[in-house]
Amino acid sequence: MTADLAGRVALVTGAAKRTGRGLALALARAGADVVVHYGRSQPEAESAVAEITSLGRRAWALSADLATPGEAERLIEAALRAVGRLDLLVNNVGNYPLGEPLDQTPDEFRATLETNLTAPYALIRAAVPALAASGMGHVINLGYAGVEHLVANPRAMAYQISKAGLLVLTRSLAQALGPRNIRVNMVSPGHLDNSVDLPEAIESHVPLGRPAQIDDVAGALLFLLSPAGAYITGANIEVAGGYRLSLADALT
């Protein structure tokens, strides 16, 4: 079964470039109208809107700095003013600072948590009335492969903390919002072919021998939105080709 999203509206955060853009386009191809959120990448966001429009769907580019308190709520308000409804929220934005664990200042650490964890919570909270009114509301959060192992990666400490928290948030809100017919799930990619830290010998890290492509991640997203995925909530689907299936993998 495939996802038929005709008549539905999705908001994808960080949808101007890379993974977010690919997911926004996949949703548009499945029939959804798409709100393209961006931070500072206005030309890329406008290009994404043009590409979605060329597919026969409606699209809007809206800016918000999700590291700033209050901006998440403003984004939802702006989306509802522009479109009038919201059926799907995809929390794709993920600040990914790399370095030694004490190199970040407290403000930088706080900003990572604000963008990756607090903002998704605020977005979901603000979107609940619209998602409930939809009758088929769905939130999909983006994690990372291995998020359930809880094996520390000191060089990505703040990111890892934020995404582990996002998994707990996903499962907590799946329980809280299920009675309102809102599903909450997580999709966790492994190494993507556009990853900033893609290993050179990918076959030594990934049993399937290649990095993930956007279509692989989009496929999991669309499965959750299809009739076959309609009874799934609180799940974390890893799209990683077998990466980090063992503790030894998790430590590399």
Average pLDDT along the chain, 252 residues, taken 10 residues at a time: 88 96 98 97 97 98 96 98 97 87 91 96 98 96 89 85 96 98 95 68 73 90 96 94 64 46
Q: What are phi and psi of 218, to 5 degrees?
A: -60, -35
**Does residue 4 lie within any of the structural domains?**
no
Q: What is the pLDDT of residue 213?
A: 87
| CA–CA gap between residue 197 and residue 232 (Å, rounded) | 31
**Does residue 162 lie within any of the structural domains?**
yes
Q: What is the pLDDT of residue 203?
A: 67
Tokens found for residue 243: 């990466």
Q: What is the pLDDT of residue 252?
A: 47
**Does residue 194 lie within any of the structural domains?**
yes
Report how many domains make up the chain: 1
Query: Could you tell me how far CA 248 lies from the centroid of its own chain?
Result: 27
Q: What is the pLDDT of residue 170?
A: 98
**Does residue 1 lie within any of the structural domains?**
no
Q: What is the pLDDT of residue 183?
A: 98
**Does residue 98 lie within any of the structural domains?**
yes
**Does residue 3 lie within any of the structural domains?**
no
Q: What is the pLDDT of residue 205?
A: 73
Q: Give the active site residues.
A: 159
Residue of 218, 209, 240, 172 lying closest to 2 (CA atoms): 218
> DSSP state, 243?
T
Which CATH number belongs to the domain containing residue 127 in this structure? 3.40.50.720
Containing structural domain, residue 71: 9-250
- SS3 readout for 28-43: HHCCCEEEEEECCCHH
Place of tokens 């799907």: 88
Q: What is the pLDDT of residue 50?
A: 98
Q: What is the pLDDT of residue 173?
A: 98
Which residue stretches of the chain are H helix? 18-29, 42-54, 71-83, 106-113, 119-134, 157-177, 214-225, 247-250
**Does residue 193 lie within any of the structural domains?**
yes
**Does residue 67 lie within any of the structural domains?**
yes
Q: What is the pLDDT of residue 199?
A: 65
